[in-house]
Amino acid sequence: MSNFQIGLGGGCHWCTEAVFQSLKGVTLVVQGYISSIKKNNSFSEAVIVSYNPEIISLRDLIDIHLHTHNSTSDHSFREKYRSAVYYFEEKQKPVIETYINELNEDFENEVITQILKLDKFDLSKSELLNYYKKNPEKPFCKRYVHPKLNLLRKKYIEKTNL
């Protein structure tokens, strides 16, 4: 079966990249900046995840995404760190809406994650790619990435390569 793709944004793309690189069935994670259309046409940090749906489902990816960034917080950096699931094809949108609505029950506050059409993607500079894999002991990684990976180990261990 061929790979499927989805865009995910929420927090720093170094964190998001590390989280999704740790999952079984994810074949590629590319970090950079994604823009959508209309009022969401500014670039925001995000990743494009290629995955094998026979190993990991889109629902699992969205579930993990919502739990590994502040998906219920509308903080002042939301333009740079837009909480979003970016679809490639229009037929993905209602499926994503259903999953987010179902998963919203897991949270005390309402999920604010937007469902947006992916319009443009700009790859990060090469020295920033695979940031966690190259720098796991850097202070940033210890402070921000390690807790997310620990959450994966606790809540989603069967889905991870950790």
Domain that holds residue 97: 4-159
Q: CA-to-CA distance for 17 and 15, rounded, in angstroms? A: 5
- Structurally, the chain folds into a number of domains equal to 1
User: Could you confirm whether 15 is annotated as catalytic?
Assistant: no
Q: Round to whole Å and give the CA distance between 86 and 114.
A: 8
pLDDT single digits (tens) 107-126: 999 999 999 999 999 999 99
Cα dihedral 34, 27, 92, 71 sign? negative
Tens digit of each residue's pLDDT (9 = 90 or more) over 68-79: 998 998 776 767
Choice among 6, 8, 12, 85 that is catalytic: 12
Q: How sure is the predictor about 2, in pLDDT bands with cuts at 50, 70 and 90?
A: low
Cα 154 to Cα 162: distance, rounded to the nearest angstrom? 11
Residue 42's domain is classified under what CATH number? Answer: 3.30.1060.10
Percentage above 90 pLDDT, the chain: 89
Q: How far is CA 68 from CA 42, 147, 148, in A?
A: 23, 9, 6
How many Cβ atoms sit within 10 Å of the Cβ of residue 157? 9
Q: What pLDDT was estimated at residue 162?
A: 84
CA atoms within 13 A on the CB side of 81: 16
Average pLDDT value for residue range 91-109: 95
